[in-house]
């Protein structure tokens, strides 16, 4: 690893040494770059963005949604940064990932002739997420295609669901909000344009149906939000979010807001739509 750090960047790009490009920083340096959580601080880690889902929009809009908090928001587009050391004191982990491979998203690299694949989470990373949720009480917010991680045995056990693949991109109608749960109480029907109608099947008697969705084009109705208690932790899943429309939707922002507070076992304050912020 140390050889990678000291190697001339131009030489790396020219020679196309995939393994070196795939891990441009030693993981010890990655961990050191994130200082330990200060007393009283709320630390939120977000992993998202790939060639199907716009990580730039996700980050910008998440920063807007939570701009009225004093939370420390830390974002990553590459899963190599989600180490056990980074997660060990996080209050909330938010993820948008599937089990597919080749997750190329935003990169600051210049001209690149050969680019390696970005791997999916390793077994060590998966175990770290699960351990922090179940044994330490870290909140977990599973967004959009993250429901597909329910096809992985360890995640299936804690998420309490089976995924249902989405249909075409279409207007998706959100409906039948659970009025007995703090995440969705008081919500009325609304539409999200240009999205995918992912669905899930609840397989655990501990999982709670939060709301449903119907695709305007294909007419398919699915469970589109759920939550579950897993050991000491809580998990909330919200399935819209393929394109920018859900992330920028003022009502869907409120679902992100409420789900995040609920997952951390905190009182949910009233949501106030943020101003347009430039980061």
Is the whole-model pTM more than 0.75?
Answer: yes
Least confident stretch, 6-20, 37-51, 175-189, 264-278? 6-20
pLDDT band at 2 (very low <50, low <70, confident <90, very high): very low
* Percent of the chain scoring above 70 in pLDDT: 82
Whole-number pLDDT of residue 273: 87
CATH architecture of 43-263: 3-Layer(aba) Sandwich (3.40)
pLDDT band at 184 (very low <50, low <70, confident <90, very high): very high
Residues carrying CATH 3.40.50.880, the chain: 43-263
Segment 158-184 mean pLDDT: 97
**Which pLDDT band, with edges at 50, 70 and 90, does 51 fall under?**
confident
pLDDT at 30: 53
Among 32-41, 87-96, 169-178, the least confident range = 32-41
Please check the confidence at residue 89 and state whether its pLDDT lies above 70: yes
Which residues face 163 on adjacent strands?
A: 200
């Amino acid at each position: 690893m140390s050889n990678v750090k000291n190697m001339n960047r131009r030489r790396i790009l020219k020679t196309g040494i995939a393994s070196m490009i795939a891990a441009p920083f030693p993981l010890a340096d990655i961990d050191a770059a994130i200082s330990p959580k200060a007393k009283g601080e709320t630390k939120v880690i977000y992993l998202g963005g790939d060639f199907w889902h716009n990580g730039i929009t996700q980050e910008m809009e998440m920063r807007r949604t939570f701009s009225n908090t004093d939370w420390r928001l830390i974002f990553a587009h590459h899963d190599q940064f989600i180490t056990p050391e980074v997660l060990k004191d996080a209050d909330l982990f938010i993820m948008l990932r599937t089990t597919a491979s080749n997750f190329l998203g935003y990169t600051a690299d210049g001209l690149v002739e050969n680019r390696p694949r970005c791997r999916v989470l390793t077994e060590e990373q998966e175990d770290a997420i699960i351990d922090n949720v179940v044994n330490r009480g870290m909140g977990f917010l599973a967004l959009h295609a993250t429901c597909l991680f329910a096809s992985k045995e360890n995640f299936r056990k804690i998420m309490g669901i089976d995924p249902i693949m989405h249909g075409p991109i279409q207007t998706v109608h959100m409906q039948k909000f659970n009025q007995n749960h703090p995440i969705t109480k008081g919500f009325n029907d609304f539409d999200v344009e240009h999205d995918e109608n992912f669905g899930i099947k609840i397989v655990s008697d501990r999982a709670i149906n939060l709301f449903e969705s119907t695709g305007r084009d294909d007419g398919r109705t699915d469970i589109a939000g759920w939550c579950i208690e897993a050991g000491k932790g809580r998990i909330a899943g919200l399935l819209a979010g393929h394109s920018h429309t859900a992330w920028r939707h003022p009502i869907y922002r409120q679902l992100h807001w409420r789900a995040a507070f609920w997952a951390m076992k905190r009182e949910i304050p009233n949501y106030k739509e943020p101003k347009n912020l430039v980061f």
